[in-house]
Chain A
Amino acid sequence: MTNQITSTAPQGTSPADAGDRITTLLAHADDNMVLAQRLGELISNTAELEIDIALGNKALDHLGVARALYTHAGSTEGEGRTEDDLAMFRTERDYTNLLLVEQPNGDFAHTMVLQLFFDAYQMELWKDLSGSPDLTLGGIAAKALKEATYHLRFSSGWVIRLGDGTEESHHRVQDGVDALWRYTSEMFEGAAEKYRSAWTTSIEAAFVDANLEIPSDPYQRTGGRGGFHTEHLGFLLAEMQWMQRSYPGLQW
């Protein structure tokens, strides 16, 4: 059962049609929103205060990108929807984030593998979008590219450290790769196919240093861009949206 739903969302480029542009903006906003929410779960729970701080920074960066993209999507749409309307009042069927980012954090090795896969993807995405004819999007992408460079250094650094470290850490990080590899192809659907080769080069380089193997199982799960999620997203949104849903229409 692979590829149950094929995404129709345009990606990577800036389509002429406003509807498509909003779809694209929301997909990227949702990626960053959901990942920020996951990272927000980790603060005060990691192995060292320095890691808490670094993951807090990463959460803030992704949250900042999500807010900028939601705001831009809202103004492109022109119906007065704010960043909070778009984040808090869309359901799990409306969210079009990648399945990868909604996966639970798991242990630290799992978390770092997830970040590595996503950071390497965002490097290519932001490089591309920083040249977008949509100048607002181009500006968001250029700033995000600087952040992604730092994120990738952090996640690849940890994946290598854990892969090379001890027998236990090596097992844990390989387990993370085995569990998450199935969510990687989705990043390259449609127009995003052009990011695949640079991404693969970057991941392979990290895997050589980390002594990790790409799983032989070809199974890939997709559907996020079409709102066909794993069961984890509903709980993440339930928690995130609870205040707004319980007390609608108020200022906070």
Chain B
Amino acid sequence: MSPEEQFQAIVDAEDKIEPSDWMPEGYRQTLIRQIAQHAHSEVIGMQPESNWITRAPTLYRKAILIAKVQDEAGHGLYLYSAAETLGVGRDEMQELLHQGKHKYSSIFNYPTLSWADMGTIGWLVDGAAITNQVMLTRCSYGPYARAMVRICKEESFHQRQGYELLIRLCQGSASQKAMAQDSINRWWWPALMMFGPHDGDSTHTEQSMKWKIKRVTNDDLRQQFVDMTVRQADYLGLEVPDPDLRWNEERGHYDFGDIDWEEFWRVVKGNGPMNRERVAHKVKAWDDGAWVREAAMAHAAKEEARSAA
């Protein structure tokens, strides 16, 4: 067997590929791109939520929100480590993010404009992430699959706390319910966009499925998410902002309207409501921290010299 055949045999047998195994260059590059993008999404995703830490309405909610944003930082770290096993450094990946050469999930290019958004992000955004990530726990690349197992546990806590936050609003005053409805109106379509282009327009899907990096197509994942979420919206008494949404008895699924693909591509290409601010925030934190990182290295070097002396 050639190395390629051997590699595919491991994948087909549902065994894991480990960092020291031979792998096709395309597989390595696809994983680096995907895992780095995932890591960047966790890190950029801290911003829309940390935006509300200082304004959380109760101390209990403040504690949950801080813990959640901190979890996202932790997810970023595990994922950068998983990507590093493929031979790319964290600083290098961050640099590519800062230069706009690496992407992150477009959902984080929308602003958080009310407290209800903290609930909606947990419910819809973490919810969509889980739909995608449960599949990734079975990914053929061992370090990525294992990172996803750990991350998924925390994401389901995030999803629950978000939904629970919205239950509270929807059972509350008219102003709270209106806040929740306004929030789903703004986040519903961007959440559906998280699953990416239609299968026919997705450039990477076929190869990724063969390599078992991806196991379910974008459209199938999106359908799963809609089916699950519409019922949850009903329970909340919130209206899903899609006039074409209806149950299709024959398919056993909800039919739903088409995404505004123009908006999708506009945001992906950098012209969403918050793209510039998100990257600028990240770059500023990194640049402002340069002297701190330099000082830590200088101190470590001096310590080493002192202990050698």
Interface residues of A (CB under 8 A from B): 33, 36-37, 40-41, 43-53, 56-57, 59-60, 63-64, 66-67, 70, 83-84, 87-88, 107-108, 160-162, 164-166, 168-169, 172, 239-240, 242-244, 247, 250-252
Q: How far is the CB of A245 from chain B (nearest CB, A)?
A: 10
**B172 near A162: Cβ-Cβ < 8 Å:** no
Q: How far is the CB of A140 from chain B (nearest CB, A)?
A: 15
Q: How far is the CB of A43 from chain B (nearest CB, A)?
A: 5
Contacts of A52 in B (CB 8 A): 46, 70, 73
**B46 near A161: Cβ-Cβ < 8 Å:** no
**A49 near B47: Cβ-Cβ < 8 Å:** no
**B292 near A47: Cβ-Cβ < 8 Å:** yes
Interface residues of B (CB under 8 A from A): 43, 46-47, 50, 53-63, 66-67, 69-70, 73-74, 76-77, 115, 165, 168-169, 172-173, 175-176, 281, 285-286, 288-299, 302
**A250 near B172: Cβ-Cβ < 8 Å:** yes
**A40 near B62: Cβ-Cβ < 8 Å:** yes
9 more A-B residue pairs beyond the given contacts A243-B56, A252-B58, with a C-beta to C-beta distance below 8 A: A41-B54, A43-B70, A47-B289, A49-B43, A67-B59, A108-B292, A162-B292, A165-B298, A251-B172
Closest residue of chain A to B291 (Cβ to Cβ) is: A168
> What are 23 A-to-B residue pairs whose CB atoms are below 8 Å?
A40-B66, A43-B50, A43-B70, A44-B47, A47-B285, A49-B76, A50-B77, A51-B289, A53-B70, A56-B69, A57-B70, A60-B66, A63-B62, A70-B59, A84-B58, A162-B295, A162-B299, A168-B295, A240-B55, A250-B176, A251-B168, A252-B61, A252-B172
Contacts of A33 in B (CB 8 A): 59
**B288 near A47: Cβ-Cβ < 8 Å:** yes
Q: How far is the CB of B63 from chain A (nearest CB, A)?
A: 5
Contacts of A244 in B (CB 8 A): 57-58
Q: A164-B299, A165-B299, A239-B55 are in contact. Are A56 and B291 (CB under 8 A)?
A: no
**B294 near A166: Cβ-Cβ < 8 Å:** yes
